[in-house]
A = this chain, B = another copy of it.
Amino acid sequence: MVPLTRQGIIDCDVHPTPKSIEEIRSYMKQPWKDRYSGSGRGFYGNPVHGARLDAKPPGGGPIGSDPDFVRQQLIEEYGEAYAILLPRAFCNLHPDPDFATAIAAAYNDWLADTWLGKYNHDGVFKGSITIAHQDPAAAAKEIERWAGHPHFVQVMTDSGARAPFGQRQYYPIYEACEKHGLPMAIHPGTDGMGINVQPSPGYPTHYIEWHTCLSLGFQAHLVSFLTEGVFEKYPGFRVVLVEGGVSWLPALMWRLDAEYKALRYEVPWLKKKPSEYLRDHVRLSSQPLERPDNDQHLLSMLEMMDAEHILMFASDYPHWDFDSPKLAFPKLPDALKQNIFYENAKQFYRL
């Protein structure tokens, strides 16, 4: 029997823990029950499914972990000559730059040993050197470590950051990229997570909002590269914006070129209109390609953005918003199709 008032010490901060997170989930209604993982993470995750359900390897293992099944479901299915691999290490959200650098290095060793090594008998796989941009000098060393490798064709970083990518703290990375002829790929992820700022006016509420706005962060990074004069300082440096959207490019360049006309006094290191740097220095990958109801609208947009020279096909296999090489685009003129699906990437990656 519990006394009305117990005597003894009163402890004002004690933490009870459920034996399993299932205990808490059993008190929830849907859709929260399905979504709740119990960890502090789990927000800004796709609440439906993050990967193609049909991409589970028949031999077992996580989605996207079986190179031979990827050959079957992607490479052979669509006749792909090369697949540029971008592992997802998510190290750019980590506050400790040494830990982040160690994660990046481990991913690079793993990729070199496996997909770019023993699983690459046909040479179909080309890879990306993951870096932790939190420590640009260490990132430059990691690039040096892999420079000259026959299958690493680019450096990659998340779009999530604490400062726009045109700023000076990042320049050791660009110097190393330029020295070794490696482009830097920017890929969505870790935006607004860990140490990274959210590149919109405060935190989005839902995944659909966060994911839609990823393309805005890409635009800000591109404006930063262009206005800071990174491509004047490093004339051999090249950037590819992967999975950041496509059709926003004309509007952004029209706006920035107009600003430049009035404000070139502020950025005297630029030798030409910002948009004129794109063809020599910047590529966009195509997925997720916007598809308006009217195909002609997309074709106009591709013309306005000079897709013939700066767009490169990407599928985003095995993620949920995969773009099929057969279905993603409306019917394209042959030359444009050849450039987007092959020539632009062949030249850019020097394959």
Given the known inter-chain contacts A216-B220, A288-B258, please indicate yes or no for A47 contacting B251, CB distance below 8 A.
no
Least CB distance from A158 to B in Å reads: 10
Q: Is the CB of A248 within 8 A of B251?
A: yes
Residue of B nearest to A215 (CB): B255
Told that A48-B265, A197-B202, A212-B223 touch, could you supply 11 new A-B pairs with CB distance under 8 A?
A47-B266, A164-B209, A167-B205, A197-B198, A199-B216, A205-B228, A207-B266, A208-B266, A216-B216, A262-B320, A294-B304
In the assembled complex, A221 has its CB within 8 A of some CB on chain B? yes
A338 lies within 8 A of chain B by Cβ: no
A200 B202 Cβ-Cβ under 8 A: no
Residues of B within 8 A of A267 (CB): 206, 208
Report the minimal beta-carbon distance from A287 to chain B, rounded to whole angstroms. 11
Within 8 Å CB of A288, what residues of B? 255, 258
15 contacts between A and B (CB under 8 A): A47-B265, A163-B202, A204-B223, A204-B224, A205-B227, A205-B228, A209-B227, A216-B220, A246-B251, A247-B251, A250-B297, A250-B301, A258-B291, A258-B321, A262-B320
For residue A150, give the distance in angstroms from its CB to the closest CB of chain B: 33
Q: Which of B202, B260, B290, B321 contacts A251 (CB 8 A)?
A: B290
**Chain A residues with a Cβ under 8 A of chain B:** 31, 46-48, 159-167, 191, 196-209, 211-213, 215-217, 219-221, 223-224, 227-228, 245-248, 250-252, 254-256, 258-260, 262-263, 265-267, 288, 290-292, 294, 297, 300-301, 304, 320-321
Q: Is the CB of A254 within 8 A of B291?
A: yes
Contact partner of A202 (CB less than 8 A), chosen from B46, B47, B162, B227, is B162
Assembled-state Cα–Cα distance A173/B226 (Å)? 39
CB distance from A257 to the nearest CB of B (A): 8
> CA separation between A250 and B199, bound complex, in Å?
21
Is A220 touching B208 in the complex (CB atoms < 8 A)? no
A200 proximity list for chain B (CB < 8 A): 164, 199, 216-217, 220
CA A297 – CA B245 in complex, angstroms?
Answer: 19
Residues of B within 8 A of A223 (CB): 204, 209, 212-213
Docked pose: A254 CA to B203 CA in angstroms = 22
Residues of B within 8 A of A207 (CB): 263, 266
- A251's nearest neighbour on chain B, judged by CB, is B247
In the bound complex, residues from chain B placing their C-beta under 8 Å from that of A265 are 31, 47-48
| Shortest Cβ distance from residue A320 to the other chain B in the assembled complex, whole angstroms | 7
Q: Which 10 A-B pairs have the closest CB atoms?
A: A247-B251, A200-B220, A163-B202, A254-B290, A199-B201, A248-B251, A208-B263, A216-B216, A209-B227, A161-B201
